[in-house]
């Protein structure tokens, strides 16, 4: 019951905040270049929708592409880290170091190495979304129930069969946790990449509108970015429900 009520409660809260925002701007007569009202933001978005939508496409492509690259590299690497102590001691400190290094400091190097196309943006999204995927995947692979593993060995299960039947399914809840965290970061990563160097995308629009003091369009672009990021997050969540219905049902029951 709690799970069903939550979206309604969230919608009511969001509507209340928007109404309060609108009233505050009107009552205090706040200039639009400082804080536009929600109605002005929606109106500005409607008037410039085609331009914003066109620029949303490259941002979404970079966001999804970098995320998929992170998953494709992070999950197999996490398997190697979890099942080889020597490999973990050799590689994991480097992974942590790369996470600590500010990604915005690396971005100019990507531009020098790969030019001004899509590749630097994909790589920056990759770096920003890689760490939560690999960390959660390593935790998942390492926390398989030892009793289950002993039982599998006692029944003669070995190698790939054990991995496919026990280890990988047991790690999936943690893997999906990392994927959802990375999905939530992907939109931010894509925009940060476009801040550094781009001639299109939502990040480019935000910088352009901000320089022109078109604050309503800055908010409108951020709104579109938020909707894209939220939609992407919920796609991963729906995929989790399809792949792990038993795990999602258990979490819902616990709430």
Residue-wise pLDDT tens digits, 202-238 = 999 999 999 898 999 999 999 999 999 999 999 999 9
For domain 33-254, the CATH class is: mainly alpha
Mean pLDDT of 181-190: 90
pLDDT of residue 60: 94
196 closest CA partner among 133, 124, 141, 138: 124
For residue 62, give both structure tokens. Answer: 């970079």
As a dihedral over the C-alpha atoms of residue 167, residue 168, residue 174, residue 178, rounded to 10 degrees, the angle is 140
Q: What is the separation of C-alpha 179 from the centre of its chain, rounded to a whole number of angstroms?
A: 7
Q: What's the alpha-carbon Rg for the chain, to the nearest Å?
A: 22
pTM equals 0.82
In degrees, to the nearest 5, what angle opens at C-alpha 22 toward C-alphas 213 and 57? 55
pLDDT of residue 110: 79
For residue 142, give both structure tokens. Answer: 């390492």
Q: Helical H runs in 115-167?
A: 118-142, 146-154, 159-162
Q: Spell out the domain ranges in the chain.
A: 33-254
Contact 225, 59 (CB under 8 A): yes
Angle between helices 49-83 and 202-211 in degrees, nearest 10: 130
């Amino acid at each position: 019951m709690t799970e069903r009520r939550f979206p309604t409660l969230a919608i009511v809260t969001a509507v209340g905040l928007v109404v309060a925002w609108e009233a505050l701007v009107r009552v205090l007569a706040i200039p639009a270049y400082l804080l536009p009202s929600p109605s002005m933001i929606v109106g500005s978005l409607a008037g410039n929708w085609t331009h914003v939508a066109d620029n949303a496409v490259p941002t979404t492509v970079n966001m999804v592409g970098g995320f998929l690259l992170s998953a494709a590299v992070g999950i197999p690497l996490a398997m190697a880290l979890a099942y080889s102590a020597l490999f973990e001691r050799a590689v994991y400190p480097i992974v942590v170091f790369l996470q600590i290094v500010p990604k915005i400091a690396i971005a100019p190097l990507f531009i020098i190495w790969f030019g001004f196309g899509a590749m630097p943006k994909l790589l920056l999204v990759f770096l920003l979304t890689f760490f939560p995927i690999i960390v959660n995947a390593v935790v998942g692979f390492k926390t398989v129930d030892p009793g289950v593993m002993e039982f599998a060995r006692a029944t003669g299960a070995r190698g790939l069969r054990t991995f496919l039947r026990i280890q990988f399914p047991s790690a999936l809840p943690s893997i999906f946790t990392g994927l959802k965290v990375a999905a939530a970061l992907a939109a931010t990563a894509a925009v940060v990449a476009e801040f550094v160097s781009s001639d299109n995308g939502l990040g480019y629009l935000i910088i352009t509108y901000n320089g022109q003091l078109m604050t309503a369009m800055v908010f409108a672009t951020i709104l579109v970015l938020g909707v894209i990021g939220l939609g992407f997050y919920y796609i991963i969540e729906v995929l989790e429900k399809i792949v792990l219905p038993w795990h999602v049902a258990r979490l819902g029951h616990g709430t």
